[in-house]
A and B are shown apart, each in its own frame.
Chain A
Amino acid sequence: SQQGEEDPQALSIQEGENATMNCSYKTSINNLQWYRQNSGRGLVHLILIRSNEREKHSGRLRVTLDTSKKSSSLLITASRAADTASYFCATDGTSYGKLTFGQGTILTVHP
């Protein structure tokens, strides 16, 4: 069953604006990961945050994790048209890489 629920399902913004996507999950996790998928392509790993971490940065990406609320957010700052893609959160409840994906957020950044 799908554990991760993401909102919004779709987000449309202008270049230069920030984009925030949220993810909620139901069971305990070892880590939570965010992935990007361009249309018809495979997944690209963006960032991993462990259950004992609260915030992590990577370039224009900022991820937060609140294990008490079982939620995470992905912030993309100063968005670019090239950021247009689907973004998925995925939870890893084991050490074997068996991920459970959220429904995804379709981000469209208009130039």
Chain B
Amino acid sequence: GAVVSQHPSWVICKSGTSVKIECRSLDFQATTMFWYRQFPKQSLMLMATSNEGSKATYEQGVEKDKFLINHASLTLSTLTVTSAHPEDSSFYICSARDRGLGSTGELFFGEGSRLTVL
């Protein structure tokens, strides 16, 4: 089945630095990808919808200048946490839908990226 890969799976950084997380669809093209954030023992909160070739659509309350999203190709979306602070520490998960001909349209999730900001 289709696979979505996230990298890195975990990252530790110092406060004030920026961190980039990649989300790749490995065997299908994804015109739309979604970025979620999950705090420990909580649910997933949608942060933004990443659209290939256009600007991302952010959910209410999510700072677009803080969480930069780039969807430069049909198989890659990146989330950059700029000037990270300890409160940005979280589990970030992406998802992508295979909308190609013959696909079921199922949504596939990456394995997540755990960010710890010291």
The answer to whether A binds B is: yes
A-to-B contact residues, CB < 8 Å:
2, 33, 35, 40-45, 48, 88, 96-104, 106
A35 contacts across to B, CB distance below 8 A: 109
Partner of A98, one of B34, B41, B108, B111: B34
Q: A40-B114, A42-B93, A42-B112 are in contact. Are A100 and B46 (CB under 8 A)?
A: yes
Partner of B32, one of A40, A96, A100: A96
* Identity of the chain A residue whose Cβ is nearest the Cβ of B111 in the assembled complex: A42
B-to-A contact residues, CB < 8 Å:
6, 32, 34, 36, 41-46, 49, 91, 93, 95, 97, 105-112, 114
**Contact: A96 with B49, CB < 8 Å?**
yes
Partner of A2, one of B6, B32, B43: B43
Main secondary structure on chain B at its contact with chain A?
strand
Q: How many Å from the CB of A77 to the closest CB on chain B?
A: 24
B111 contacts across to A, CB distance below 8 A: 41-42
Q: A96-B49, A97-B95 are in contact. Are A42 and B114 (CB under 8 A)?
A: no
A106 contacts across to B, CB distance below 8 A: 41
* Identity of the chain B residue whose Cβ is nearest the Cβ of A6 in the assembled complex: B43
Question: In the complex, what distance in Å separates the CA atom of A100 from the CA atom of B91?
Answer: 17
Question: In the complex, what distance in Å separates the CA atom of A88 from the CA atom of B95?
Answer: 15
B109 contacts across to A, CB distance below 8 A: 35, 42-45
**Contact: A103 with B42, CB < 8 Å?**
yes
- For this complex, 21 residue pairs linking A to B, each with C-beta atoms less than 8 Å apart, are A35-B109, A40-B91, A40-B112, A42-B93, A42-B111, A42-B112, A45-B107, A88-B44, A97-B32, A97-B95, A97-B105, A99-B34, A99-B95, A101-B36, A101-B44, A101-B45, A102-B43, A103-B42, A103-B43, A104-B42, A104-B43
Q: How many Å from the CB of A43 to the closest CB on chain B?
A: 4
| Supplied contacts A42-B6, A48-B106, 4 more A-B pairs, CB within 8 Å | A88-B44, A97-B95, A97-B107, A98-B34
Q: How many Å from the CB of B76 to the closest CB on chain A?
A: 17
Question: In the complex, what distance in Å separates the CA atom of A92 from the CA atom of B36?
Answer: 15
* Identity of the chain B residue whose Cβ is nearest the Cβ of A35 in the assembled complex: B109
Q: How many Å from the CB of A90 to the closest CB on chain B?
A: 8
